[in-house]
Amino acid sequence: MEKNYVMNTYSRFDVVFDHGEGCYLFDINGKKYIDFASGIAVNSLGYGCKKIEDTISSQSKKLLHCSNLYWSEPQLELAQKLCENSSFDKAFFCNSGAEANEAALKLAKIYAKKNKGADCTKFIAFKNSFHGRTTGSLSLTGQDKYQKNFTPLMPEVEFANFNDINSVKKLLSPEVCAIFLEPVQGEGGIVPAKKEFLQELRDICTKNNIALIFDEVQCGMGRCGKLFAHQVYDVNPDIVTLAKAIGGGVPMGAMLSNKKFADAFEAGDHASTFGGNLLACACANVVVDEILNAKLLENVDKMHNYFVQKLSELKEKYSFIKEIRGLGLMLGIELDISPKEVVNLAFKEGLLILSAGSNVIRFVPPLIIDEKAAEEGFRVLDKVFNEIKGE
């Protein structure tokens, strides 16, 4: 059916999932899988979350969608929660991370044109970054494998080296309107920024009236141990983009900004038909409440330590594990062997993991994961590594 009716844009595993419970997925044949991937960092509350289920049910009985030409209580409540628990003043809602990054790109441009001049349209982004598949977000993505078949892209982007402030300084000019980066590079191999690097970027942007934009699509919403990843670093960007986990599995994206930049938008400058619809915002309110009010972040800290401990034990045992890195429950191990082989063997044994970059295994489990589920996953991983070692 896929070959006949679906465009060939994914290399899919040979499985159809039927339902999930907590940190486990079950396929249509009843096979159980331990989930260390959570839909690529989306299902942070796991599967079968009663609060999400009840919210979907109750909201669907009222309204699923109502145009943004009218006020929406779930949307306004969500905007208030996000802004009151951050350094931001205004929110814009959309449907995905790529859309959130497009919104940020446009906001930075319109602010610069209004306040710095018509030629202030350049962006500094970073090598090995990933910001999405739309033309604008792809232009900011510093990986040729994603860009090569779609050039020419936006010409106003130059790429610096991540965690190298001197490479940024060399690209500075009066035409730069924004510096755009992930606090933790995800698809680039789970590479956290250094605190001093982000602090220096903040100083540069403040001094030159440049927008500092953090893409927290994958690393935000509790993933790194705080509501926002930048709160771990104590460095506030001017604009942040969110998606993935914020909807609890319902498609959802957001851009937040401080007042200085947010006020550059006027009615009609940007929009999204489905952005911030009632169902998505109602679910996002549940996610944010769980992060803020439940012991979810405590669990992230606890399980971070557990994952690092188990990964360290594996590193001692297997010489092809070169490095462990990451924040919270966004972790990676750098390998001397093919990540694809590890991912495929783990899948056969009932463990879902992801690769990142060319040589990294990525761990982004549901934030609710406990030691029991994690231990099951690490037993599988140990078995896989042992099998590879014996080849």
Query: Which CATH number do you get for residue 353?
Result: 3.90.1150.10
Over residues 8-31, the mean pLDDT reads 96
Q: What is the dihedral of CA 139, 215, 168, 105, to 10 degrees?
A: 50
Gap between the Cα atoms of 208 and 198, Å rounded: 15
Laid out side by side, the sheet with 354-356 consists of 321-327, 330-335, 360-363, 354-356
Residue 170 shares a structural domain with residue 234 = yes
Percentage with pLDDT > 70 across the chain: 100
Identify the band that residue 15 occupies on the pLDDT scale cut at 50, 70 and 90: very high
Q: At 145, is the pLDDT very low, low, confident or very high (cuts 50, 70, 90)? A: very high
Residue 9 confidence (pLDDT): 92
pLDDT of 181 strictly over 70: yes
Question: Does residue 389 carry a pLDDT above 90?
Answer: no
Containing domain of residue 364, as a range? Answer: 2-48+295-389
Are 32 and 26 within 8 A, CB to CB? Answer: yes
Interhelix angle 278-293/73-84, nearest 10 degrees: 30
Residue after which a domain boundary falls, among 267, 293, 319: 293
The residue among 270, 293, 316 that closes a domain is 293
Pairing of strands 351-352, 32-35: parallel
Domain termination residue (choose one: 275, 293, 311): 293
Phi, psi dihedral angles at 122 (to 5 degrees):
-90, 150
Task: Report how far residue 360's alpha carbon sits from residue 35's, in angstroms, rounded to the nearest whole number.
Answer: 17
Residues 169/304, Cβ–Cβ less than 8 Å: no
Helix (H, G, I), strand (E, B) or coil at 160: strand
Confidence at residue 123, expressed as pLDDT on a 0 to 100 scale: 98
Q: Is the pLDDT of residue 391 over 90?
A: no
Cα dihedral: 223, 227, 232, 235 (round 10): 130
Position 2 scores a pLDDT of: 86
Same domain, 323 and 272: no
- Token pair, residue 255, equals 């851009």
Q: Give the pLDDT of residue 355.
A: 96
The CATH number for 153's domain is 3.40.640.10
Using the predicted structure, report yes or no on whether residue 300 has a pLDDT greater than 90: yes
User: Do 264 and 223 share a structural domain?
Assistant: yes
pLDDT for residue 380 is more than 80? yes
Query: What share of residues in the chain are helix, strand, coil (percent, to 5)?
Result: 40, 20, 40
- Which runs of consecutive H residues, i.e. helices, occur in 318-389? 339-348, 371-389
| Amino acid 1: pLDDT | 87
| Band (3; pLDDT cuts 50, 70, 90) | confident
Count of domains for the chain: 2
C-alpha to C-alpha distance for 197 and 277, rounded to whole angstroms = 37
How is residue 212 written in tokens?
């500092």
Residue 105 has pLDDT above 80, yes or no: yes
Mean pLDDT of 328-352: 97
How confident is the prediction for the chain on average, in pLDDT?
97
